[in-house]
Amino acid sequence: MRHIRFPTSDLRPPASERRVLLGHGSGGKLSADLVEELIVPRFSNPALDALGDSAVVAIPEGGGRLAITTDSYVVDPIFFPGGDIGDLAVNGTVNDLAMAGADPLYLTLGMVIEEGLLFSDLERVLDSVKRSADSAGVKVVAGDTKVVPRGKADKLFLNTSGVGLVPAGFVSARENIGPGDAVILSGTIGDHGVAVMSKRAGLGFATEVRSDTAALHRMAAALRRLGGALRFMRDPTRGGLAATLCEACRGRPCGVEIGETVIPIDPGVRAACDLLGLDPLHVANEGKMVAFVAPERADEALAAMRGFVEGNDAAVIGRAVETRPGMVVLLTRAGGKRIVDLPAGEILPRIC
């Protein structure tokens, strides 16, 4: 006769198979458990720990203005070479603050979770949020969790909103750009988009392309020391370098001329773009910035950027010109000229 042994402990699945349930978004016991188990231990700080309706923080001293931004992240897949949706969401919002000239201070984290997401995946993303927030020196002070039934979202969407402080007197505005200004790019383009695409498509390139996701606020703060000679900063994310340059000069008396041969591109990215039929100028970046700088301070700006890991490959890629107001012109490798435009529609859906 065989003994049948009934389990004496709890009947929950092993930790590696735990999944998010609809009830984790209910505002009831499971919601409270989720916050206490996953959120508070990771992100503990006085403003968050109060678990109030809002975080309450001191108003930054020293004058200046507040920068406020928001971004939702729907990247597919949520894990990709070089990063995941968690560090993407932190770095992306830190960078939006940095490009406005702000020192990032506080982040909020909103999660829309598809029922059935593995706890282990959620924890991995939250670890990544924590690590990148710590690394950037920003605090996650408020959060929100919603769960929707299977098939009503895709694993996990994040929203990070951010608040930062812009030092008194500093202005980054495309209206400041004048003829002759140098256009400086902080490094290679297309890495993030190609990393996500190749993972999604299951393409195995000879050398793996990794996302460039990185926080740029320290590099941007260093550039602020140029004062008014730093005209305008922006990070070329969705729509790529092309969209950023087009937006910088649209409707303005200046245009931009860039040189194909001087734009840094990783050979792996170039090969992947050739294969996939993509123009690297349209492919998203998540750790790059463009700065328009007065020509006489361009060398100084370039040196400042190269002093940071994320600006090692910085290069002057062109200049603002009066000849074609509002337009971006590429001087091609072959010696011709090509007008660079915004991508018309969707090239790479769910890239960030």
> Where in 273-292 is the site for a copy of itself (CB under 8 A)?
282, 284
Shortest separation between residue 352's beta carbon and a copy of itself, angstroms: 8
Q: Which residue carries 């991508």 as its tokens?
A: 343
Distance CA 237, CA 179 (A): 25
Q: Is the bond preceding residue 325 a cis peptide, omega within 30 degrees?
A: no
Closest CB to a copy of itself among residues 64, 295: 64
Closest CB to a copy of itself among residues 172, 198: 172
Shortest separation between residue 256's beta carbon and a copy of itself, angstroms: 17
Check residue 152 and report its DSSP letter. S
Residues within window 235-274 making contact with a copy of itself, judged by CB under 8 A: 235, 237-240, 243, 247
Closest CB to a copy of itself among residues 233, 314: 233
Residues within window 207-236 making contact with a copy of itself, judged by CB under 8 A: 234-235
Q: Does 347 bind a copy of itself (CB under 8 A)?
A: yes
Shortest separation between residue 177's beta carbon and a copy of itself, angstroms: 14
Check residue 225 and report its DSSP letter. T
Q: Is the bond preceding residue 349 a cis peptide, omega within 30 degrees?
A: no
Beta pairing, strands 328-331 & 255-259: parallel
Q: Does 326 bind a copy of itself (CB under 8 A)?
A: no
Shortest separation between residue 268's beta carbon and a copy of itself, angstroms: 23
**In this structure, are residues 273 and 266 in contact, taking their beta carbons and an 8 Å threshold?**
no
Choosing from 18, 21, 123, 264, the residue that interacts with a copy of itself (CB under 8 A) is 21
Shortest separation between residue 5's beta carbon and a copy of itself, angstroms: 28
Binding segment for a copy of itself among 206-214, 261-269, 272-280, 335-343 (CB under 8 A)?
A: 335-343
Pull the structure tokens for residue 313.
Answer: 């490959």
Residues within window 286-325 making contact with a copy of itself, judged by CB under 8 A: none
Closest CB to a copy of itself among residues 62, 204: 62
Closest CB to a copy of itself among residues 60, 259: 60
Q: At 50, give phi and psi (nearest 5°).
A: -65, -20
Shortest separation between residue 2's beta carbon and a copy of itself, angstroms: 36
Alpha-helical (H) ranges within 141-250 are 191-201, 217-224, 240-249
Residues within window 111-170 making contact with a copy of itself, judged by CB under 8 A: 111-112, 141-144, 146-149, 151-154, 157, 159, 161-166
Closest CB to a copy of itself among residues 170, 205: 170
DSSP string, 286-299: SS--EEEE-GGGHH
> Closest by alpha carbon to 292, among 320, 311, 265?
320
Choosing from 106, 245, 257, 278, the residue that interacts with a copy of itself (CB under 8 A) is 106
Q: Does 177 bind a copy of itself (CB under 8 A)?
A: no
The CA radius of gyration of the chain, in Å to the nearest whole number, is 23
Residues within window 45-104 making contact with a copy of itself, judged by CB under 8 A: 47, 50, 52-60, 63-74, 76, 95-97, 99-102
Neighbours of 129 (CB within 10 A): 26
Choosing from 18, 19, 31, 279, the residue that interacts with a copy of itself (CB under 8 A) is 31
Distance CA 129, CA 150 (A): 24
Distance CA 240, CA 226 (A): 26
Helix (H, G, I), strand (E, B) or coil at 179: coil
Distance CA 86, CA 122 (A): 9
